[in-house]
Structure 1
Amino acid sequence: MMLRLKNHSVVALLVLTSIPPLILVYLTITANDCPVELLGRSENRTLQRIHDGYMQKIRQIQHQEKQIQKLRRKLSLAEMQLQGYQNGNNISGFGDNRTNGRCANNQLHVPKCQVIDIAIVCTGINATRDVVTVIKSILFYRKNPLHFHFIADVISQKILHHLFTSWNVAEVETSFYSSEKAKPRVSWIPNIHYSGVYGLMKLTLTEILPQYLDKVIVVDIDVTFATDVAELWKILNSLQGLKMIGLVENLSDWYLGLLPNVSPWPADGRGFNTGVMLMNLKKLRELNWMDTWRTVTEKVLPQHEHTQLADQDIINAVIKQHPFLVSRLSCKWNVQLSDNRKECSGDLSSYKIIHWNSPKKYNVKHQRIGYFRNLHQMFLEYDGNLLKREISWCNTTGSQSSQNNKINLTEINTDDECYDFRIERILEHRTHLYYLDYDLDYRPEEFDVSLVVQLSMDRLQMLETISKHWEGPISLALYIADAEIQQFLRFAHGSDILMKRRNIGYHLVFRDGQYFPVNYLRNVALRQVVTPYVFLSDVDFLPMHGLYDYLKKALSMMDMQSKSKALIVPAFETQRYRTDFPESKADLLNKLDLGDLFTFRFHVWPRGHAPTDYTKWRTATTPYTVQWDFDFEPYVVVKRDIPEFDQRFVGFGWNKVSHTMELDVLGYEFVVLPNAFMIHMPHAPSFDIAKFRSSSLYRRCLKVLKYEYQRDLSRKYGIKALKYLSDD
């Protein structure tokens, strides 16, 4: 069927084509309007009249040229609209294929295994915390495979990549794009929004995202989904003709110019909020989106000096000039909880996405805030392990890690009485690195050393005291459940001592399995150390005051570069919950003689630290070497690149003994430091030590694992490891 231009488009075309010949006729008729006889009377007057006549004609021509330019712009828009109508009827390849003459929306559906692409700008440590809740809410409702596209800085990419790799969610892929590469495209725009230059990154998605990606859903990190994201993808697929962007109207009064001390950028009415955005990247690229928003920005920026709402200001200014680009979505797809807002009407059950875009965030006042806050809190505390479910109707292979775990599971005999222990070895725990603020610019010294510890939530109170005793970097792994996150944040943010420290790396390892994965936690903390040396300790120990500086000095004098050495920090204990911590070795020896302190575990496990030779240490003034012996488990300072702890050992028993054994087979020299010490503080027995004491199966399985470790060590290192098989 032939398509026709609208009436105003036809008129514009006729006027445009008729103007040039009319101008030529006009010039021809008026070229001789100066009488010949006047030339003979006064040459000057004649020339002046001719000059004035031509100047008038020039002005008329210039005016006509301006009119022509306006008409050309109108004609260009008419042509674009015509092209859009053609695309909507499958004449051009601009849109999706449609069949029959029925309403396109009724024909739309999202295939069950259709991958849905979601783009998120996430930069900075704090942002990686917030985005997890967004992701949880999306995963909770989704029924389709997902592909998350993160525009991230270096630290965010490291955190999120490790999180998704360890999370191992079925049918979820991730891609990362450098925010540093996107910076030059927007850094020239002054922006006073708290997000800084990163708040402008969404403008660059047509260039930053891969060219094969035609469509994407873009969300901010402060939204909470209350429905399946596939519903939003369906709307994105329905954008017809020139509709390239789907947005919800801005519910605040910002762009109306009614707020005091606000000079808003141009917008169509209330404008649009860009916290949730549907983008047809293919159409935007064909429109030359990058040039379009740059041109508009260069025109508007001189009037406002800067953007106040980052990308939202610029996108609204573009829509103001080109309103045909946007498809208006229902407010239920972006229920904004901002100040000075218009309410989004409807039942609570009809709301699809909640947007916490008020500076007050979760403390914003709203008549339905209780419901919204409970929804957000649910995803904050929701067990992420429950979101790892596979989409059974999609025949995808899953991640390599998932496949490896399945293979390992088939190798474990389910009838083995130690099955529960063996399966712990292959568990990969979801891990969120650097959960709190950390100084990423820290540059360690040549002999710098980090304290490496692991803990569970019941030992959290020890962190403040340890921080008072150890001024250097700390890398800690915290074993935690999702439901305990807010408790941890309240504790950390409520501590002036911890908040002053930016050299503590908090790495959260989420609960999974029956036993405390002590060596898994140690390895997580060990891998994130940035200093050349590590002090391998436990959270129940307080290092002596000044130990950090003492160790750095000792390391510089011990020829650690050319020789493999493990420097031993002697361990003591107190059985009093409140005690005066010794200020020196002399003070410690005095308390030892008075019975206020004891050598560590002297009454239950003397073999663990007997080789330290406490008798010699009392009078030692220089470091001395000791020999390894069975069950030796000292706390040592070593190079960062040591072998990792064996993860088959969980809970209580042999987790440090096995590691010390491997250091010995590698030829490490054990050297006791004469003026260093640490003290174990009393605490209630852990669940795992209680199980060890009460369960014969626990003790039996630990003995089996111990034998298998010794056997594996001999296979790995050959004849020099045979001596470790002789102990029962």
Structure 2
Amino acid sequence: MLGICRGRRKFLAASLTVLFVPAITWIYLFAGSFEDGKPVSLSPLESQPHSPRYTAPSQRERESLEVRMREVEEENRVLRRQLSLAQSRSPSHHRGNHSKTYSMEEGTGDSESLRAGIVAGNSSECGQQPAVEKCETIHVAIVCAGYNASRDVVTLVKSVLFHRRNPLHFHLIADAIAKQILATLFQTWMVPAVRIDFYDADELKSEVSWIPNKHYSGIYGLMKLVLTKTLPSNLERVIVLDTDITFATDIAELWAVFHKFKGQQVLGLVENQSDWYLGNLWKNHRPWPALGRGYNTGVILLLLDKLRKMKWEQMWRLTAERELMSMLSTSLADQDIFNAVIKQNPFLVYQLPCFWNVQLSDHTRSEQCYRDVSDLKVIHWNSPKKLRVKNKHVEFFRNLYLTFLEYDGNLLRRELFGCPSEADVNSENLQKQLSELDEDDLCYEFRRERFTVHRTHLYFLHYEYEPAADNTDVTLVAQLSMDRLQMLEAICKHWEGPISLALYLSDAEAQQFLRYAQGSEVLMSRHNVGYHIVYKEGQFYPVNLLRNVAMKHISTPYMFLSDIDFLPMYGLYEYLR
């Protein structure tokens, strides 16, 4: 007990000393700054020898005390910094250190961020980026082709819009199908401070069609190589994303990483999190050349202006031609060629922390990129299995993905306050028409419904139609809501010709419909049925709008307009023709 009391007295004495020494010092300084009851300035101008109040001894004392106080303050700052580092190294935080596998190889990035990443286990806490200007436009490029990819793009865009605080400019390299779908979608979505530009992917095929490719993305998986030539010449930087990406943070944080590029660094990439490029996945596995584990191209930061000056087009073409002489084809599309170029020119790459591309394919070590939910930035479903991929935390990632998949896109039509936006004629006309309505009118809600713009996703499922040679084909046209979904199989059995259907669904119901259709052998065997989703908004059922959407998107000279509850007799299609 006596020892405890002595320990407490020592602790109390030390505490009082720590408190009183700075206090006495400040009192001394304060008192010394008064002469004859008047304050004396310590500014450099008034403390010169020619000053009337100058006395050499008191001035030296004050200066020495000032220097000493600055030293004490600096020591305090150092102690506080050491204390915070000690806390971060406590046992509860040591779980993150096993990600050194990835942090140690970030030699081409900023050395300070590298050391921080090693200490904190690649945690985002140490990845503080310089702030992006409030109204700076962020440019995003996406290659999109086909019906399925168009659905994936919507989920990606939702996740970006949910977190964003800056204007966005999407550059979509799309084929004719994706352009028709996405142009209608964004036009009816009417999201403020979002601009969309399309680039014809079919025109770019000749640039990369000479490269044999085994990847499931096909020829479109190579088009990121020609972005320097495709995108506007005045565009200096762009974030390039795959369609199977989900954002869990503000994309402005990733845009800010451009400020960390140094020297000749023109590519921002995350290291590949599988052993693919190490060549040890199976016997006789021979991958393309890569630096270490190689880099994944699902998320790319491109400095376009510098790449053009470096003659990027010539650089990747020469590399691809040389490697194809022995490799014969690419296995991972553009990623193989990017890695071959980086292997020869490692100075081109700035390695991003791996939480900017958490890869969820089989055989990856993605769990080493995060220690907490707050560390997750970007999730990449880079496996053909997509949501069925094997991963320790796949349930968490799947739930995050499904959140945006079923999220009401109408809620993302929010203004960016304080940022000037380009005048949208359609939006301005809509606001003008709504302002002219009388809210006291008993029919106000009905009149307002006339001006509601419903988000529309055309051809939600794969669609194929070959026109009849005699030009007398007929399309069955109908509209329905979720409660009539069970009629679809029966109608498809009774009508073998083309069908155009408008479905009035919420975002969540659209995903239920997708699962229902993909699980139906009858519906999956029919490719001449166009499903057009008109998303719910308001309290009324817009029957005329739905009918018009279904009628507008038919491919035949004739149509048979029917109610969803009416089942056509067998042979009616051939009879009407």
TM-score by length of 1: 0.61
2 CA distance for matches of 1:445 and 1:281?
51
Alignment of 1:630-669 (within 5 A): none
- Report deviation, 1:109: 2.7
Alignment of 1:336-351 (within 5 A): 336-342=359-365, 343-351=368-376
* Residue 381 of structure 1: aligned partner: 406
Q: Does 1:399 align with 2:421?
A: no
Alignment of 1:56-75 (within 5 A): none
* Residue 17 of structure 2: aligned partner: none
Q: Of 451, 455, 470, which aligns to 2:480?
A: 455
Q: Does 1:119 align with 2:141?
A: yes
2 CA distance for matches of 1:403 and 1:445?
46
* Residue 534 of structure 1: aligned partner: 559
Is the 8 Å Cα contact of residues 235 and 304 (structure 2) preserved in structure 1? Answer: yes
2 CA distance for matches of 1:393 and 1:440?
48
* Residue 198 of structure 1: aligned partner: 220
Q: Deviations over 1:107-129 (max 9, x none)?
A: 94311111110000000011001
- Report deviation, 1:240: 2.3
- Report deviation, 1:486: 2.3
- For the pair shown, the structure with the greater C-alpha radius of gyration is 1
Q: Rate the CA distance shift 1:440–1:131 in 2: closer, same or farther, 3 A.
A: farther
- Report deviation, 1:395: 2.2
Q: Of 525, 535, 540, which aligns to 1:500?
A: 525
- Report deviation, 1:361: 1.1
Is the 8 Å Cα contact of residues 129 and 257 (structure 2) preserved in structure 1? Answer: no
Q: Rate the CA distance shift 1:473–1:121 in 2: closer, same or farther, 3 A.
A: same
Q: Does 1:467 align with 2:489?
A: no
Alignment of 1:98-247 (within 5 A): 108-247=130-269
Alignment of 1:662-681 (within 5 A): none
2 CA distance for matches of 1:444 and 1:126?
29
Structure 1 counterpart of 2:178, one-letter code: S
Alignment of 1:78-89 (within 5 A): none
Cα RMSD of the aligned pairs, angstroms, is: 1.5
1 CA distance for matches of 2:466 and 2:493?
23
1 CA distance for matches of 2:139 and 2:563?
43
Q: Does 1:485 align with 2:485?
A: no
1 CA distance for matches of 2:266 and 2:396?
33
Is the 8 Å Cα contact of residues 370 and 376 (structure 2) preserved in structure 1? Answer: no
Q: Deviations over 1:269-317 (max 9, x none)?
A: 0000000000000010000101000011111111111000000000000
Q: Of 263, 277, 287, which aligns to 1:264?
A: 287
Is the 8 Å Cα contact of residues 206 and 281 (structure 1) preserved in structure 2? Answer: yes
2 CA distance for matches of 1:471 and 1:259?
47
Structure 1 counterpart of 2:262, one-letter code: Q
Structure 1 counterpart of 2:279, one-letter code: G
Is the 8 Å Cα contact of residues 444 and 530 (structure 1) preserved in structure 2? Answer: no
2 CA distance for matches of 1:183 and 1:278?
23
What SS is found at the alignment partner of 1:118? strand
Is the 8 Å Cα contact of residues 465 and 498 (structure 2) preserved in structure 1? Answer: no
Q: Does 1:275 align with 2:336?
A: no
Q: Rate the CA distance shift 1:274–1:442 in 2: closer, same or farther, 3 A.
A: farther
1 CA distance for matches of 2:524 and 2:458?
17
- Report deviation, 1:441: 4.8
* Residue 419 of structure 1: aligned partner: 444
* Residue 74 of structure 2: aligned partner: none
Q: Rate the CA distance shift 1:486–1:197 in 2: closer, same or farther, 3 A.
A: same
Structure 2 counterpart of 1:374, one-letter code: N
* Residue 446 of structure 1: aligned partner: 471
- Report deviation, 1:439: 0.5
Q: Rate the CA distance shift 1:488–1:398 in 2: closer, same or farther, 3 A.
A: farther
Q: Deviations over 1:559-588 (max 9, x none)?
A: xxxxxxxxxxxxxxxxxxxxxxxxxxxxxx
Q: Rate the CA distance shift 1:365–1:158 in 2: closer, same or farther, 3 A.
A: same
Is the 8 Å Cα contact of residues 450 and 534 (structure 1) preserved in structure 2? Answer: yes
2 CA distance for matches of 1:410 and 1:360?
50
What SS is found at the alignment partner of 2:336? helix
Q: Of 364, 368, 371, which aligns to 2:396?
A: 371
- Report deviation, 1:360: 1.8
1 CA distance for matches of 2:565 and 2:153?
33
Is the 8 Å Cα contact of residues 358 and 369 (structure 2) preserved in structure 1? Answer: yes
1 CA distance for matches of 2:554 and 2:227?
34
1 CA distance for matches of 2:493 and 2:128?
66
Q: Rate the CA distance shift 1:344–1:240 in 2: closer, same or farther, 3 A.
A: same
Q: Rate the CA distance shift 1:391–1:441 in 2: closer, same or farther, 3 A.
A: farther
Is the 8 Å Cα contact of residues 138 and 228 (structure 1) preserved in structure 2? Answer: yes
* Residue 107 of structure 2: aligned partner: none
Q: Rate the CA distance shift 1:462–1:444 in 2: closer, same or farther, 3 A.
A: farther
* Residue 248 of structure 1: aligned partner: 270
Alignment of 1:320-331 (within 5 A): 320-331=343-354
Alignment of 1:286-297 (within 5 A): 286-297=309-320
* Residue 94 of structure 2: aligned partner: none
What SS is found at the alignment partner of 1:543? coil
- Report deviation, 1:397: 4.2
Q: Does 1:301 align with 2:324?
A: yes
Is the 8 Å Cα contact of residues 117 and 215 (structure 1) preserved in structure 2? Answer: yes
Q: Of 335, 345, 351, which aligns to 2:358?
A: 335
2 CA distance for matches of 1:431 and 1:443?
28
TM-score by length of 2: 0.76
What SS is found at the alignment partner of 2:197? strand
- Report deviation, 1:106: 8.7
* Residue 455 of structure 2: aligned partner: 430
- Report deviation, 1:544: 1.7
* Residue 585 of structure 1: aligned partner: none
Q: Deviations over 1:222-252 (max 9, x none)?
A: 1100000000110023322211000000000
1 CA distance for matches of 2:490 and 2:444?
39
What SS is found at the alignment partner of 2:522? helix
2 CA distance for matches of 1:398 and 1:457?
36
- Report deviation, 1:145: 0.6
Is the 8 Å Cα contact of residues 467 and 556 (structure 2) preserved in structure 1? Answer: no
Is the 8 Å Cα contact of residues 495 and 570 (structure 2) preserved in structure 1? Answer: yes
Structure 1 segments (4+ residues) deviating >3 Å: 105-108, 440-445
Identical aligned residues as a percent: 58
Q: How many residues align?
A: 449
2 CA distance for matches of 1:340 and 1:107?
31
Structure 2 counterpart of 1:242, one-letter code: Q
1 CA distance for matches of 2:275 and 2:242?
20
What SS is found at the alignment partner of 2:450? helix
2 CA distance for matches of 1:241 and 1:299?
27
* Residue 617 of structure 1: aligned partner: none
Q: Deviations over 1:162-183 (max 9, x none)?
A: 0000111111110000111111
- Report deviation, 1:445: 4.1
Is the 8 Å Cα contact of residues 113 and 144 (structure 1) preserved in structure 2? Answer: yes
Is the 8 Å Cα contact of residues 359 and 382 (structure 2) preserved in structure 1? Answer: yes
2 CA distance for matches of 1:365 and 1:418?
55
- Report deviation, 1:216: 0.4
- Report deviation, 1:444: 6.7
- Report deviation, 1:366: 1.6
What SS is found at the alignment partner of 1:426? coil
Is the 8 Å Cα contact of residues 125 and 434 (structure 1) preserved in structure 2? Answer: yes
2 CA distance for matches of 1:514 and 1:380?
23
Is the 8 Å Cα contact of residues 461 and 531 (structure 2) preserved in structure 1? Answer: yes
**Alignment gaps of 5+ in structure 1:** 1-87, 89-104, 553-728
Structure 2 counterpart of 1:256, one-letter code: L
* Residue 96 of structure 1: aligned partner: none
